[in-house]
Amino acid sequence: MSANRVKRLSGFVADQIAAGEVVERPASIVKELIENSLDAQSSQIDVRIEEGGSGLIWVQDNGYGLHPDDLSLALERHATSKITDAQDLLGIASLGFRGEALASVASVARVKLSSAQAGAAMGYQREVHGGELMSQGPVAHNTGTTVEVRDLFYNTPARRKFLKAQRTESAQIDQVFRRLSLAHMDVGFSLRQSAEKSASGRGLSLPAGRIEERLGQVLTTDFLSHSIAVDESWDNFRLHGWVGLPAFHRRLADQQYFYVNGRAIRDKLVGHAVRQAYRDVMFHGRQPVFVLYFELPQDTVDVNVHPTKHEVRFRESRAVHDFIFGSLNRALREVRPQNPASTRDGVTPVSPQATNAWPSVQESAAFQMPPGSTPAATVTSPLMTGSAPRESAENPTFDNSSQAQTPPLGYALGQLHGVYILAQNSEGLVIVDMHAAHERVTYEKLKAQAENASIARQRLLVPENLNVTEAEAELVESLSDTFLQAGLVIERSGIQSVCLREVPALISFKKLQPMVRDFIAELAEFGNSDELLRGQLDLLASVACHGSVRANRSLTIAEMNALLREMEVTENAGLCNHGRPTYFTRSLADLDKLFYRGQ
């Protein structure tokens, strides 16, 4: 029986457990140490890594430093300068807990902590191996702090075996470093890893204040030229930063940086809002690129949901979701073909103006169709022979005086193999995929018509009963008006059952029960639903695709110019409904290079 009695753990075992929570891998130590340096108001932070962090993690800053009497406390558990009482936990503005992190690291490594405060004659140093004090005393040190962590997990070899290959650990450290550097553009950073095992084989030097240079090094050099600036505010919310154009996508989500009050997070609610904004402009299976900063009052967000603080909980999650979605959706919709045609990806970056208005849940809910109408009946085409103005059909001669009046996509010259429209604008050549372009134009017209009418519903001959949880049944009962706005009549029929009686006419051919279950699940998690909207968008996109001009159809110059003019005023005109580019441009300078003109 004695083996089952409750016993107080030894300090060493307790430290090992705490270390397991904080020290997931070398990258987590680097994160904690850099955050400590940031909280110390450092303007320069330098990091050196050997053997993927298992051999050495060295972080030096020029912050305000530690008082000599605080060095020993900084290496003890439950000792920190960041909070005083429990109330401070509700509005944490700092990033790391210096005492908590260092104590955990010190229990599983050989740690040397050196620091000096401004005006001090010298610094002070304390060295601890596995939590045991080895030496302490004065040391020559500039203002700031240096933390040296060697031989990680030397006293717990079983944990050391679970570290990944050095190259993998180096890549994780590199990613943590990049993520933190983007959150603090006013701080200089440098990273040097042992080249033979590092992910990149080289270091990173990021001077303070050089925003464009930092974005180019941390992401890619062409990110800024393939992105749009976002800066929107509403009430106490602000979202600003850069989002990549839909055509500037990646296979992996490795260049997605989102910050809440300066803290890097990976949050399901935020991820859902971003995906929804890119919903019908991103090529299937691809990932957008973005660097976004979200600011809101500290007491409206809880950063202590997860030990690593990667996840957060918002007090007004529904409002946060809709604000993020609305801001990004508007920014992406504002992208239009415009002069100068200086990019190779079909669109020129723009910077939408900030606005204090953003769509409500109802405005971003399911599209609505007129009663008794069918999508096919609403399809309109810009390609009506002879409908274009005379000046669109008879293209002017290009000279310096006419360049200012030339439309962004210029004037048509002809067709190539019945698939592409060739046009010239003031900058050079424009190549348009006529089917993809017309598909987008038709799709956006369908959406606009659907949004401005009421949704048509049809009653099921045999109502469908769904078994749900009690919480879901209560949700259906409380949100009956929301379901009705989406064209669904669902009633609670029991403690754990609901009855579906009417559905939108647009989705009559779909499998109803799985769609409704997803609809309820999304309402429960995010406060609104994308599932029904996605089903209707898919249908509208299909109608637009089948109703658009096909390859090998001969178009007149007037028809081609009519399509170009439509594209210039259509939202998301640079991409078709499937995320493929609708047009490309080539400047005269690019063409001159191809033919070696002027060389």
Q: What would the mean pLDDT of 33-42 be, rounded to a whole number? A: 94
Non-local (6+) Cβ contacts of 97 within 8 A are 80, 82, 83
How confident is residue 93, by pLDDT bands cut at 50, 70 and 90?
A: low
Q: What is the pLDDT of residue 348?
A: 39
**DSSP-derived 3-state class of residue 113:** strand
The pLDDT, as a whole number, for residue 409 is 94
β-strand 583-587 against 497-504: which pairing, if any? unpaired
- In 87-157, DSSP assigns E strands to 110-116, 123-129, 132-139, 144-150
Contact 517, 524 (CB under 8 A): no
Residue 476: left if φ>0, alpha if ψ -120 to 50, beta else—which one? alpha
Q: How much is the CA Rg of the chain, to the nearest whole Å?
A: 30
The answer, as to whether pTM is greater than 0.85, is no
What's the mean pLDDT in 359-367?
29
Strand bridging mode 256-260 / 263-264: antiparallel
> Highest mean pLDDT range out of 189-193, 391-395, 514-518?
189-193
Cα–Cα distance list, 591 to 494, 531, 588, 599 (Å): 70, 46, 5, 13
Helices assigned H by DSSP within 419-556: 434-451, 470-478, 480-485, 512-526, 531-546
Greatest C-alpha distance within the chain? 99
- For the segment 199-228, the average pLDDT, to the nearest whole number, is 87
Question: In the block, which residue shows the tokens 């393939």?
Answer: 226
Please count the other Cβ atoms lying within 10 Å of the Cβ belonging to residue 294.
25
Strand partners, 342: none
How many Å from the N-terminal Cα to the C-terminal Cα in the chain?
Answer: 92
What is the set of domains in the chain, with CATH numbers?
Answer: 11-215 (3.30.565.10), 219-333 (3.30.230.10), 365-599 (3.30.1540.20)
pLDDT of residue 589: 92
**What's the burial of 353, exposed, middle or buried (CB within 10 Å: 0-12/13-18/19+)?**
exposed
∠ CA(560), CA(564), CA(566), 5° rounding? 115
Which region among 301-315, 444-458, 527-541 has the lowest average model confidence (pLDDT)? 527-541
